[in-house]
Every structure is written in structure tokens, then in C-alpha cells.
Amino acid sequence: MDIKEILNNSIRTIPDFPKKGIMFKDITTLLNDKDAFKSLIDFLKERYQDKNIDFIAGIESRGFIFGSALAYTLNVGFVPIRKKGKLPYTTIAEKYALEYGFDEVEIHIDAFRDIKNPKVLLIDDLIATGGTAKAAETLIKKAGAEVVESCFIIELQDLEGAKKLESPVFSILKD
């Protein structure tokens, strides 16, 4: 099986969650399938091992899971991008629009310390409207790094979130 088949067979779709009309992609079934999870991380390692990446930045919270595992296999640093008020040190913040209002994500001001012109892979489980990913991309740039690519396990193409990003976008599954 190729990686798309493996992922499609290991991700559960839950209709009408969290509200009617939404087909929720539940990645917990991927995470607890040791063979599927290993296949995913091995696939991503193969893709990124020669890209001279210095850090992986993961978006809270599922991006932490994939980003940490991939950072470990690539032997690079991991940087969390968190919701406002969750990081203990001095941060840079970026707001993004929600359906009703705004939210905000933050990164430590020294997240990419000790590396000149750091190259960063941004990762999350899913891109929908792209608001959070765009805010994360902006934060990485504000912190002095370059986003070499934004990687998502799933892209909801109809919502066109990938078009908001300046970095190249790689999505394994496109719904």
C-alpha cells in the first residue's frame, strides 16, 4: 500500500461533528495504529531529510504530535506554536480571523536561537480555511526564520486555505 492508502485506511471520518454537516477527520485512529503512524513519519522523513531544515514548527495541538516525531527522526529542533497565553517566556503574537471573532497564536521570541537564517518546516494535521496556518507562517517570519514548506496530513481543498500561505504547501491527502 502507498502512504495515501495507509492514511485513508487509518483515519476515521465522523459525520456531523462538531456540528451538523461537518465530516470530521479523526486522526486518533492513525495515532494509535503503530504501523500507520510509523509509515507516515518514515514517509515524511524521506521527503524532508535532504531539505536542510533546522527546525520543525508544529501548530497546537495535533501539529505537536507529528512535528515532534518528525523532528526527532530528522535530528532537528521542535518549536511549538501555541494559543495565546500558553507559552511562559516573551512571545510574538499573531491574530487570525474566526467565523465569529478572532483568535491568536504565539511563538517564543527566541524560538530559533543560535541559528543564522534558520529554515523551518511548518506542520499540522489539517488545513481548512488557512487562518491558523497563515498566522503561524507570519510568526515564524517575524521570529527571523524562513518557512521552507508547510506540511499537512489532510487538506480540505474546497475551503482553499492553502492559497493563503506564501510558502509551498504539501498535503498528503486532499479532500
According to DSSP, residue 4 is labeled: H
Query: How do beta strands 146-155 and 169-174 pair?
Result: parallel
Q: How far is Cα 81 from Cα 59, in angstroms, rounded to an integer?
A: 5
Measured N-to-C along each axis, helices 34-48 and 3-10 cross at an angle, to the nearest 10 degrees, of: 140
Q: What is the pLDDT of residue 113?
A: 87
List the catalytic residue out of 47, 82, 94, 99.
99
Q: What is the pLDDT of residue 1?
A: 84
- Nearest partner of 87 among 143, 129, 33, judged by Cα: 143
Q: What is the pLDDT of residue 46?
A: 98
99 is catalytic: yes
62 is catalytic: yes
List the catalytic residue out of 12, 47, 60, 62.
62
Q: How far is Cα 46 from Cα 59, in angstroms, rounded to an integer?
A: 21
The tens place of each residue's pLDDT in the chain, 175 residues long, gives 899 999 999 999 999 999 898 889 999 999 999 999 999 999 999 999 999 999 999 999 999 999 999 999 999 999 999 999 999 999 999 999 877 789 999 999 999 988 899 999 999 999 999 999 999 999 999 999 999 999 999 999 999 999 999 999 999 999 8
> Which residue ranges form the domains of the chain, and what is each CATH number?
51-174 (3.40.50.2020)
Q: What is the pLDDT of residue 110?
A: 96
According to DSSP, residue 158 is labeled: G
